[in-house]
Amino acid sequence: MKSYQPSRSPCPVGRASRVIGDRWALLILREAFLGAERFDQFLERLDISRAALSSRLGILVAGGVFERVPPEGKRAVYRLTDAGQALKPTYEALRAWGDAWLFAGEDRDGQGAR
């Protein structure tokens, strides 16, 4: 199981990637921006194991992206913190980049296969 270890990198991108650089972290953020708050909601929306989801949510909580309410016990809600909410423009930029550049069957200029 992965756990959060803060980066000591002098580079802010390196530090940020320690928290949100994982594919699952970005997909969990997507679901949070779409309204998911509970473990079971994330689980049903993502093709992820319980252990992997638990690990990634723990990293995101430890990294200050989410808060877990209540902090202990079952049936917690995972809420985006101010730091998590601040990631929305980054998420939207990634989504726009994916829309523009990664559709199957289209070449890089968006005109489709020739």
Chunk the chain into consecutive blocks of 10 residues (it has 114) and report each block's average pLDDT, rounded to whole numbers: 76 91 96 97 96 96 96 90 98 94 67 46
> What pLDDT score was predicted for residue 103?
78
Beta strand 66-69 pairing with 77-80: antiparallel
Q: Which domains does the chain have, with CATH numbers?
A: 37-99 (1.10.10.10)
> What pLDDT score was predicted for residue 109?
57
> What pLDDT score was predicted for residue 108?
56
Between CA 102 and CA 94 the distance in angstroms is 11
* Single pTM value for the model: 0.84
